[in-house]
Amino acid sequence: MRVLGWQLSLNRYVAFVYWLTVVVLSVTGTLYTDILTDVQGVPLAVSTSVFAAILAVVFGVWYARERTLSIHSIRHARRELFYWLAVLVTLRLGTAAGDWILELTGWGPGTSVLLPAGLIVAIVIGWTTRRERCVVLLARVHSDPPTGCETSATGWGCRRTTGPRFGVCALTA
């Protein structure tokens, strides 16, 4: 936690300290999640659900206190603490969810890299095709699409139509 203290003591962005903090939090987040699972026997479904709930609470409290979640408005210690807490919980959630997916699918390290790679590709496609304001839900949709989105022959339901500025889009099968 000394690295986080170093990061919090700075009044400007220093790339080395920032990325060192990210790496340290990533390693410790993975370690603590693995300890919960391997040593304490907490099922991955439970830790994934708990970390998801904690992250929702962190974002909820952060927004309630600051009225923004924008990383571009982090100009004082309280917002930066919210930011780093969100990073820490997100990293733990990512470890738990990733391990849980591997447990459920039985995928090995080679195959497992395809899921995050596919998600990154989907995000890049969404960004480059001007669908960046949509939340892409990788799920099968069994009902009518939400307001602001349409279905299409390709399965991408994200088009800027009438409705909310931030539409919800879905990859349908």
- pLDDT tens profile 88-100: 999 899 889 888 8
Q: What is the DSSP string of 17-43?
A: HHHHHHHHHHHHHHHHHHIIIIIT---
Residues 8 and 31 reside in one and the same domain: yes
Whether 160 has a pLDDT exceeding 80, the answer reads no
Residues 26 and 96 reside in one and the same domain: yes
Counting the structural domains of the chain, the total is 2
Comparing 49-58, 131-140, 163-172, the range with the smallest average pLDDT is: 163-172
Write down which residue in 83, 107, 131 finishes a domain: 107
Mean pLDDT across 149-156? 41
Residues 45 and 73 reside in one and the same domain: yes
Residue 23: pLDDT band with limits 50, 70, 90: very high
CB–CB of 1/67 below 8 Å?
Answer: no
- pLDDT tens profile 30-75: 899 999 999 999 999 999 999 999 999 999 999 999 888 887 787 7
Mean pLDDT across 83-112? 87
Q: Which domain holds residue 12?
A: 2-107
Residues 88 and 136 reside in one and the same domain: no
Residues 25 and 64 reside in one and the same domain: yes
Residues linked to residue 136 through DSSP beta bridges, in sequence order: 169
Residues 127 and 103 reside in one and the same domain: no
* Both tokens assigned to 66: 């600051």
What pLDDT does 78 receive?
87
CB–CB of 79/66 below 8 Å?
Answer: yes
What pLDDT does 130 receive?
65
Residues 36 and 103 reside in one and the same domain: yes
* 167, containing H or E segment: none
Residues 121 and 100 reside in one and the same domain: no
Residues 26 and 100 reside in one and the same domain: yes
Write down which residue in 73, 90, 107 finishes a domain: 107
Sign for the pseudo-dihedral over CA of 46, 48, 51, 55: negative
